[in-house]
Structure formats: structure tokens, C-alpha cells
Amino acid sequence: MNMSFNDALQIFLYFLVLFVCVKPLGIFMSRVYQGERTFLSGALGWLEKGIYKISGVNPEEEMTWKAYAWHVTIFSTVCFAALYAILRLQAGLPFNPEKMAGLSPDLAFNTAASFTTNTNWQAYGGETTMSYLTQMAGLGVQNFISAAVGMAVMASFIRSFVRKNSGTIGNFWADMVRGLVYILLPLSFVLALVLVGQGVVQTFGSSVEAHLLDPLKTSAHVVNTQTIAVGPAASQVSIKQLGTNGGGFFNVNSAHPLENPTALSNFLEMLAILLIPAACCYAFGHMVGDTRQGWAILAVMTIICLPLLIFCYGQEQGGNPRLAALGHIEQRQGIYQSGGNMEGKEDRFGVVNSAIWATTTTAASNGSVNSMHDSYTSLGGLVPMLMMQFSEIIYGGVGCGLYGMLVYALITVFIAGLMVGRTPEYLGKKIQAYEIKMSSVVLLVPLFCTLLGAAVAVLTSAGQAGPFNTGAHGFSEILYGFSSAGNNNGSAFAGLGADTPFYNEVLGISMLLSRFWCMLPVLAIAGSLSAKNAVPPSAGTLPTHTPLFIFLLTGVVLMVGVLTYVPALALGPLADYFQTLHSIHQG
């Protein structure tokens, strides 16, 4: 594989800028979640206090893990119900210039589940389904809330390592509101304005009629105009990138030129995908008083992500072998074209920016796209699918990525402890049977949702009706869909016809299970750890910031996390790859 200098430089710059941002943002987040004053307290403190006052919250009140989990559950249920109602009733609500109808019950269920779980799977096309009110007050609000809830649970989980002999893990409302007001709002606001400057549309006006320069002659009639859908997109695009939501304003998400118009807007949107998940690692280290712990976690994530990114790039840059076999087509990279597999990619991004996006958006549980993953080469498309099957811990969702990875760290010290016959410890807390049982639930639920869901789909006629492509690639579409819902990612092999009662319901249930049956055991672990005393490190303690631990944790993530999916991947992307070779051989 040859990588051009400029492509290598773009990948390098991406990670460089990301890592430069990690420390300052991480320190800031750590301060926010510890309730300390920051440079934004003066400007936004009134907003935080105002929200507490209106909702009747006492932010100082400490919660046990059960109370914390209870509030998370009740609040998420209210959000789910409210969003469901907006989706069903949007026809009669204001800010609906395109006269969008209400959604069917199954699509509304799926979409409400999708946006309250931070998945943002979209079984609909934004510009053909949703009113502006739904986009802003329904979906946009959940983009903020679901992200802040994930970060709140992370903050309480980290706190449980710091507290000793305490029964409490913090206040859910304070954690959520602080994340919203001090972290998500300012970042989204600034990013939204920069994106508008680049050309991302932001208006309450209705769609625009343009008179075509070269009228379109179809067999039946001549089309003289182009209807251009617009709307308040930038304000939503910024939070969907920053909050690892990923739900596009338009159907094709950030491939749409009015959602991601330039190379610079693309760079910033890509940066926003990993920005908070990566900074969470530093915030973790800062909060537990040992930043090396955070760097170690970030190192594991990057060690897994980067080779897969380069592999994906190589596959896509290599082009489609079947097009090469057709002849008369130039797929090689040159100074005048990026070349490669350009089906489902945009020229302004080329292969390298499509590959960076595809890998990071699935590593983080973002799920937005700037190219169509369904049209990736067989092995190139394997990468985003695999990234989701890592249970969204390679950076992962905001908050949930880090707590997911910390669960893997617990499993790692447990396995290491088994090897030497000692009770394992992590950050001074003894890891015992209860923590490992709960960790196992966190590991198994996404797996169960993904594989069982895909199995049900291929065994039922309703499920079999979904794929657009045939053969192994059709199975890949199904497996990709359930990997996406079962790990709360939201990206799709978009050929899958997912707006049917079957897929809406099964994928919707899958998203809910995966989100909450990972979150609740994590809170249970937090409660248990918080109640324990700290044990001082001894000669037998495994240090958790060393290259050895990084190696161990990487190994556990690979073995425990992803090995389970190998048989399914063999039936999907790998079989697809060999079918392609076979087709060429047949001529």
C-alpha cells in the first residue's frame, strides 16, 4: 500500500490537533464535574442556577447509586415520551414550513429510542420527514441531553474511585446540567457559528427553488427547477458531532454539502467527533489524581484505532477491483485526483478524509457519515463494522466510551489477578466478585443485542426483506445495522430498508437495552467502589499506567471484546471479499 505524503500529513494533523486539545479540555471538564469555579462560571453560572431553580433541584444533595440510577431512568423515560409525542404530533405543531406529516408509531418509537439513547440511528430522511420544530426541540434537545447523561454517569463512576467508605456517587442533576451548560453549550455554539461561516445552512426559511442552467429532460417531461432543502442545520450539526450523537439534519448526514461544505468544515466536524471522548480520558486521570492513568487509557484507544484507520484507507485507496476489471477507468491516485473507490464518496473529501471519518465515527459512538459506508470495498467496510463491535470503547460515546473502557480495565486487572492469585485492585480499590459480575453484564449485553438481533433478522421474512444488496453484502447490511443499534452507534450500511415495523421495533428495543443495561451495572459498580476503603499499593499491585498494562488491556479488548464477532464477520465482509474476487475471475 502506498500512502501519499499529503494523505499521511492529513492523518497526522488530525491526531496532532486532537491530542493538543485533550489536556486543556480534560482539565476543564475535571473542574466542571468537581463543581469548581472555571472561567465560564461568571458568564454561565446564572443559567446553571436558573435550571436548578425552575426544576426544584438541590445540586448539593448526594445520591446513592440507586437514587442516581433511578433519576437517570425516570428522566430518560420522560425524554423518550416527550420526543415520541413530538414526532407523532408534528403535523399540528408550529415551525413546519414543509408541512411534514406525523410519524408512524413504529418509526416514532424507533426514533425516540434512538435519540434518547445517544444512538441516533435514522430510519428516516431528515429533509423529507422532520419539521424544523422536531429537529430543534425534539432531536436537537436530545442530542444535548443524551450526551450530558452519558458524561454524568462517567463523572459519578470516576468519583467512586476517589471516594472512600462513602455510600454516595454525586448528584445526577448537577452532573448533567454542568455538562450541558459549561461543556456542550459553549463548544456547540462556537462550532455552529464557524460552520455557518464555511457554508453550513442555518435559517428558519423554507426550501428554495432554483432555476436550472441545463433543464433536465426525462422521457416524460422537462424539469426546470431544483428544490433545495434548507433549515436550521448548523446549530444541530455542531452538537451531533460533539455529543457523539451523529443524527444528520439531512438524509446523507455530513456528506451533504449544506451540512459539511468544505475541507475545513470537514476537519472541524471530524475533530469534534473524538474531541470530548478523548478529553474524557484526561479528565479521568485528573479527577483520580494521576494523569498517567488517563494517558494509558487514551493510548490503548489510539493503538487500536490508528492501524485500522490506515487499513481502511489502504483498502479504499486501492479502488474497486471490479471497476479495474471493466477497463477504461482511472482509479489511481494522482496530482489531479484522489482516485480510489469513489462510489459513495464526495470529491472535496477524497479517500483519506472519508476513511478518517468512517473509522473515527464508528470508534466513537458518533455514527455520522461523510461517505456511504455501504459502498466501501468489502474489507474497507469491515473496519467501521468492527469499530462498533468493540462495544464503543475505542474513544466511544461521550462519557459512555470511557466508562465502557474502564469496565474493560477492571476485567483486565481481574484476569491479571487470576494469573498471580491475588485479589485485583484498580486505582486503590479492590475488585471483587460483585464488580466482575456487573462488568460481565456490560460486556455481554451489546453482544447479545447485536448477534441475537442479526440472527432473528436473517431467520424471519420481515428481516430478510431489509437488505438492498444481495448475497454476503446483504448480510453485512443486516449485521452492520444490529452492530450499530446494539452498541448505540447509529451509523448504517444505508441500503438496509430499515423503516419497517420489524426493523423499527427490534432495533429500537436493541438500542434501549444496550444503553440502559450497560449504564445501570456501571452505576452499581460505582456504588460498590465508592463504599470501599482504599488499599495502599503493595509490591504485588499491578501498576495501571505502564506499557505492560496498556499491552494487557489492548489484548483483553481484542480477545474478549471482538473475537466473538469473527464468525459473523466471516459470513459478511470476508465472504463478500471472496465473492468479489470470484466475480472478477468469472469475467
Partner 1 sequence: MTMSSLRISILMWLSLTVIFGGLYPALVTGISKAIFPAQATGSLIRDEAVRVVGSRLVGQEFSDPDYFWGRLSATVPMPYNAASSSGSNYGPNNDDLMKTVQARVKALHDADPGNESDVPVDLVTASASGLDPDISIAAARYQAARVARLRGLTEKDIDDLITKNTQPRAFGVLGEPVVNVLMLNLDIHRKAAHATGGKR
Contacts of partner 1 in 524-553 (CB under 8 A): none
> Which three cell numbers, joined as nine digits, stand for 57?
433541584
> Which part of the chain contacts partner 1 (CB under 8 A), choosing from 29-37, 280-288, 368-376, 450-458?
368-376
> Which three cell numbers, joined as nine digits, stand for 195?
460552520
Q: How far apart are CA 12 and CA 5, in angstroms?
A: 10
When binding is defined by CB under 8 A, the residue of 154, 180, 298, 400 that contacts partner 1 is 180
- Minimum separation from the CB atom of position 510 to partner 1 (A): 22
When binding is defined by CB under 8 A, the residue of 62, 106, 290, 343 that contacts partner 1 is 343
CA angle, residues 39, 141, 67, in degrees to nearest 5: 80
Compute and round to an integer the Cα radius of gyration of the chain: 23
When binding is defined by CB under 8 A, the residue of 82, 85, 441, 534 that contacts partner 1 is 82
Classify 209 as helix, strand or coil: strand
Contacts of partner 1 in 302-341 (CB under 8 A): 319-320, 322-323, 326, 328-331, 334, 336-341
Q: How far apart are CA 314 and CA 1, in angstroms?
A: 6
Contacts of partner 1 in 480-509 (CB under 8 A): 493-495
User: What sign does the dihedral 300-278-177-366 (CA atoms) show?
Assistant: negative
> Which part of the chain contacts partner 1 (CB under 8 A), choosing from 203-211, 517-525, 534-542, 545-553?
203-211
The torsion angles phi and psi of 259, rounded to 5 degrees, stand at -110, -25
- Minimum separation from the CB atom of position 547 to partner 1 (A): 32
Of 327 and 421, CB closest to partner 1: 327
When binding is defined by CB under 8 A, the residue of 3, 10, 432, 554 that contacts partner 1 is 10
Of 230 and 410, CB closest to partner 1: 230
Whether the Cβ atoms of residue 165 and residue 411 lie closer than 8 Å to each other = no
> Which part of the chain contacts partner 1 (CB under 8 A), choosing from 74-82, 153-161, 404-412, 509-517?
74-82
Q: What single string gives the DSSP state of each residue in 358-374?
A: HHHHHHTT----SS-GG
> Which part of the chain contacts partner 1 (CB under 8 A), choosing from 162-170, 194-202, 444-452, 508-516?
194-202
> Which three cell numbers, joined as nine digits, stand for 496?
438496509
Q: Counting contacts by CB under 8 A, is residue 377 touching partner 1?
A: yes
Classify 136 as helix, strand or coil: helix
Q: How far apart are CA 347 and CA 338, in angstroms?
A: 8
When binding is defined by CB under 8 A, the residue of 154, 158, 229, 436 that contacts partner 1 is 229
Of 30 and 341, CB closest to partner 1: 341
Q: Counting contacts by CB under 8 A, is residue 60 touching partner 1?
A: no
> Which part of the chain contacts partner 1 (CB under 8 A), choosing from 156-164, 372-380, 389-397, 439-447?
372-380
When binding is defined by CB under 8 A, the residue of 11, 123, 154, 252 that contacts partner 1 is 252
Q: Counting contacts by CB under 8 A, is residue 182 touching partner 1?
A: no
The one-letter amino acid at 44? L
Q: Counting contacts by CB under 8 A, is residue 47 touching partner 1?
A: yes
CA angle, residues 439, 440, 446, in degrees to nearest 5: 100
Q: How far apart are CA 378 and CA 451, in angstroms?
A: 20
Which CA distances in Å does 192 have to 15, 75, 125, 256, 269?
22, 27, 22, 16, 10
> Which part of the chain contacts partner 1 (CB under 8 A), choosing from 46-54, 302-310, 435-443, 504-512?
46-54
> Which three cell numbers, joined as nine digits, stand for 181?
451548560
Contacts of partner 1 in 508-527 (CB under 8 A): none
Q: Counting contacts by CB under 8 A, is residue 217 touching partner 1?
A: yes
When binding is defined by CB under 8 A, the residue of 21, 27, 44, 67 that contacts partner 1 is 67
Q: Counting contacts by CB under 8 A, is residue 280 touching partner 1?
A: no
When binding is defined by CB under 8 A, the residue of 189, 292, 533, 566 that contacts partner 1 is 189
Q: Counting contacts by CB under 8 A, is residue 79 touching partner 1?
A: yes
When binding is defined by CB under 8 A, the residue of 2, 42, 55, 433 that contacts partner 1 is 55
> Which three cell numbers, joined as nine digits, stand for 343?
462510489
The DSSP symbol for 251 reads T
Of 267 and 448, CB closest to partner 1: 267
Of 79 and 512, CB closest to partner 1: 79
Whether the Cβ atoms of residue 29 and residue 22 lie closer than 8 Å to each other = no
Over the window 406 to 435, marking each residue x when it contacts partner 1 by CB under 8 A and - when it does not, the resulting string is: ------------------------------
Q: How far apart are CA 282 and CA 290, in angstroms?
A: 9
Half-sphere exposure of 529 (CA within 13 A, CB side): 29
Contacts of partner 1 in 125-154 (CB under 8 A): 125, 127-128, 136-138, 140-141, 144-145
Of 348 and 422, CB closest to partner 1: 348
The one-letter amino acid at 407? V
Contacts of partner 1 in 555-584 (CB under 8 A): 576, 579-580, 583
The DSSP symbol for 314 reads H
Region for 63 from its dihedrals, namely left if φ exceeds 0, alpha if ψ lies in -120 to 50, beta otherwise: beta
Neighbours of 166 (CB within 10 A): 17
Stretch (H or E) spanning 298: helix 291-317
Site size with partner 1, rule: CB under 8 A: 130
User: What sign does the dihedral 481-276-58-164 (CA atoms) show?
Assistant: positive
Of 12 and 434, CB closest to partner 1: 12
- Minimum separation from the CB atom of position 274 to partner 1 (A): 16
The torsion angles phi and psi of 217, rounded to 5 degrees, stand at -100, 110
Of 236 and 439, CB closest to partner 1: 236
> Which part of the chain contacts partner 1 (CB under 8 A), choosing from 221-229, 293-301, 519-527, 562-570?
221-229
Q: How far apart are CA 196 and CA 281, in angstroms?
A: 30
When binding is defined by CB under 8 A, the residue of 111, 365, 476, 530 that contacts partner 1 is 476
